[in-house]
Structure 1
Amino acid sequence: MADRYKRLWLLLAGLIVLGLLVAAGASAAEPKTGGILIQAANKEPPSLDPLQEGTIFMLIYVSSQYNGLLQYDPLDNTKIVGDLAKSWKFSGDGRTITFKLHEGVKWHDGERFTAEDVLYTLSRTKNPPKGIRSPRKIQFASIEKMEAPDANTFVLTTKVPNPSILSALAQGWTVILPKHVMEARKDGMKRVVVGTGPYKFKKYIRGTSYEVVKNPDYFKKGRPYLDGMKWYVVPDMSAYVAAFKTHQINLLAGIPPIYKSHVEEIKAAVKDVQVHTGQMWVFGVLWMNTEKKPWDDIRVRKAAWLAMDRQAAIKILAEGDGTLGLMLAAEGNWGLPAAEIAKLPGYRQPKDKDLAEARKLMAEAGYAAGLNVVMDSRSGITDERRATFVKDQLAKIGIRAKIKLNELAKMYKIINAYTYNCVSYPNAVALDDPDDAFGRYWLPSAQWNRARLKDPKLVEMHTKQSQTVDVAQRKNLVRELEDYIIAKYPAVVLYWNMQYGLAWPEVKNWKIGSGIYNNLKYQDLWLDQ
Structure 2
Amino acid sequence: MSISEISRRRLLGGTVILAGGALLPRFGFAQEVMQGGRLVVAADSEPRNLNPAIVASNGVFYIASKVIEPLAEASFDGPDGLAPRLATSWEGSEDGLSITFRLREGVAWHDGEPFTSADVAFSAMEVWKPLQNIGRSVLANLESVETPDEMTAVFKFSEPTPLQLIRNALPVVSSVLPRHLYEGTDIAANPANNAPVGTGPFVFAEHRPGEYYRLTRNESYWGEGQPKLDEVIFRVLPDRAGAAAALEAGEIQLAAFSQVPLSDLDRISGNSELEVVTKGYEALTYQLIVEINHRNEILNNLKVRQAIAHAIDRSFVVDTVFLGYAAEATGPVPKNAPEFYEPDVALYPFDVEKARSLLDEAGYPENDGGPRFSIRLLPAPFFSETRAMGDYLKQALAAIGIEAELVSNDAPGHLSAVYKDHDFDLSIGAAVFRGDPAISTTNLVQSGIPDGTFFSNQGGYANPGIDEIIAEALVTIDTQKRIELYNEFQKLVTEDLPLINVADWGFTSVASVDVENVGNNPRWVVSNWSDTAISG
Pairwise TM-score range, normalised by the shorter structure: 0.7 to 0.9
Runs of 4+ residues over 6 Å off in structure 1: 74-78
Residues 58-106 of structure 1, C-alpha deviations (whole Å, 9 max, x = no match): 2211110011111113776972121111223333445422212122322
**Which residue of 1 is the match for residue 136 of structure 2?**
137
**Which residue of 2 is the match for residue 300 of structure 1?**
304
Please tell me the residue identity of whatever aligns with 2:459.
A
**Which residue of 2 is the match for residue 247 of structure 1?**
250
Q: 2:271 aligns with which of 264, 269, 272?
A: 269
User: Scaled by the length of structure 1, what TM-score is found?
Assistant: 0.85
**Which residue of 1 is the match for residue 336 of structure 2?**
331
Please tell me the residue identity of whatever aligns with 2:492.
Y
Q: 1:364 aligns with which of 346, 354, 361?
A: 361
> Alpha-carbon deviation of 1:418?
4.3
Verify the 8 A CA contact 1:115 1:154 in the aligned structure 2.
yes
Verify the 8 A CA contact 1:117 1:178 in the aligned structure 2.
yes
C-alpha separation in 2, matches of 1:33 and 1:169? 36
**Which residue of 2 is the match for residue 71 of structure 1?**
73
Please tell me the residue identity of whatever aligns with 2:166.
L
Give the match's secondary structure for 1:204: strand
**Which residue of 1 is the match for residue 23 of structure 2?**
none
Q: 1:491 aligns with which of 461, 475, 499?
A: 499
> Alpha-carbon deviation of 1:274?
4.9
C-alpha separation in 1, matches of 2:290 and 2:337? 22
Structure-2 change in CA distance of 1:104 and 1:336 (3 Å): closer
Please tell me the residue identity of whatever aligns with 1:140.
L
C-alpha separation in 2, matches of 1:389 and 1:245? 31
C-alpha separation in 2, matches of 1:167 and 1:70? 8
The answer to whether residue 158 in structure 2 is matched with residue 156 in structure 1 is no
> Alpha-carbon deviation of 1:406?
0.6
> Alpha-carbon deviation of 1:133?
5.5
Structure-2 change in CA distance of 1:168 and 1:79 (3 Å): closer
**Which residue of 2 is the match for residue 345 of structure 1?**
347
Residues 364-416 of structure 1, C-alpha deviations (whole Å, 9 max, x = no match): 33321311111122346433212101111111211111111111111122222
The answer to whether residue 498 in structure 2 is matched with residue 478 in structure 1 is no
CA RMSD across the alignment: 2.6
> Alpha-carbon deviation of 1:335?
4.9
C-alpha separation in 1, matches of 2:249 and 2:520? 22
**Which residue of 2 is the match for residue 147 of structure 1?**
146
Structure-2 change in CA distance of 1:246 and 1:270 (3 Å): farther
The answer to whether residue 389 in structure 2 is matched with residue 391 in structure 1 is no
Please tell me the residue identity of whatever aligns with 2:427.
S
Verify the 8 A CA contact 1:147 1:155 in the aligned structure 2.
yes
Verify the 8 A CA contact 1:163 1:467 in the aligned structure 2.
no
> Alpha-carbon deviation of 1:296?
2.0
**Which residue of 2 is the match for residue 196 of structure 1?**
199
Residues 187-234 of structure 1, C-alpha deviations (whole Å, 9 max, x = no match): 145333111111010111111111100111112222111101011111
**Which residue of 2 is the match for residue 453 of structure 1?**
461
Verify the 8 A CA contact 2:129 2:140 in the aligned structure 1.
no
Residues 7-35 of structure 1, C-alpha deviations (whole Å, 9 max, x = no match): xxxxxxxxxxxxxxxxxxxxxxxxx9941
**Which residue of 2 is the match for residue 506 of structure 1?**
514
> Alpha-carbon deviation of 1:512?
5.9
C-alpha separation in 2, matches of 1:127 and 1:173? 9
The answer to whether residue 211 in structure 2 is matched with residue 218 in structure 1 is no
Give the match's secondary structure for 1:484: helix
Structure-2 change in CA distance of 1:173 and 1:231 (3 Å): farther
**Which residue of 1 is the match for residue 416 of structure 2?**
413
Structure-2 change in CA distance of 1:407 and 1:390 (3 Å): same
Stretch moving more, 287-296 or 305-314: 287-296
Verify the 8 A CA contact 1:307 1:397 in the aligned structure 2.
yes
The answer to whether residue 176 in structure 2 is matched with residue 176 in structure 1 is yes
**Which residue of 2 is the match for residue 322 of structure 1?**
326
C-alpha separation in 1, matches of 2:373 and 2:416? 26
Residues 460-509 of structure 1, C-alpha deviations (whole Å, 9 max, x = no match): 21233344444443333211111112222111211011221222121112
Verify the 8 A CA contact 1:74 1:511 in the aligned structure 2.
no
> Alpha-carbon deviation of 1:439?
3.3
Give the match's secondary structure for 1:462: helix
C-alpha separation in 1, matches of 2:174 and 2:415? 21
Structure-2 change in CA distance of 1:214 and 1:106 (3 Å): same
Structure 1: segments with no counterpart, 5+ residues: 1-31
Structure-2 change in CA distance of 1:387 and 1:121 (3 Å): same
Please tell me the residue identity of whatever aligns with 1:309.
D
> Alpha-carbon deviation of 1:147?
1.0
Stretch moving more, 409-418 or 86-95: 86-95
**Which residue of 1 is the match for residue 111 of structure 2?**
109
Verify the 8 A CA contact 1:33 1:226 in the aligned structure 2.
no
Structure-2 change in CA distance of 1:59 and 1:84 (3 Å): same
The answer to whether residue 526 in structure 2 is matched with residue 525 in structure 1 is no
C-alpha separation in 2, matches of 1:144 and 1:413? 32
> Alpha-carbon deviation of 1:270?
2.6
Structure-2 change in CA distance of 1:133 and 1:101 (3 Å): closer
**Which residue of 1 is the match for residue 24 of structure 2?**
none
> Alpha-carbon deviation of 1:141?
1.7
Structure-2 change in CA distance of 1:236 and 1:269 (3 Å): same
Residues 103-131 of structure 1, C-alpha deviations (whole Å, 9 max, x = no match): 23221122222111111111124542xxx
Please tell me the residue identity of whatever aligns with 2:373.
L
Give the match's secondary structure for 1:487: helix
User: Scaled by the length of structure 2, what TM-score is found?
Assistant: 0.83
Verify the 8 A CA contact 2:75 2:522 in the aligned structure 1.
no
**Which residue of 2 is the match for residue 236 of structure 1?**
239
The answer to whether residue 316 in structure 2 is matched with residue 312 in structure 1 is yes
The answer to whether residue 294 in structure 2 is matched with residue 290 in structure 1 is yes
**Which residue of 2 is the match for residue 50 of structure 1?**
52
**Which residue of 2 is the match for residue 90 of structure 1?**
92
Verify the 8 A CA contact 2:277 2:518 in the aligned structure 1.
no
Verify the 8 A CA contact 1:331 1:337 in the aligned structure 2.
no
C-alpha separation in 2, matches of 1:335 and 1:424? 26
Verify the 8 A CA contact 1:66 1:196 in the aligned structure 2.
yes
> Alpha-carbon deviation of 1:170?
2.3
Verify the 8 A CA contact 1:198 1:218 in the aligned structure 2.
yes
> Alpha-carbon deviation of 1:424?
3.0
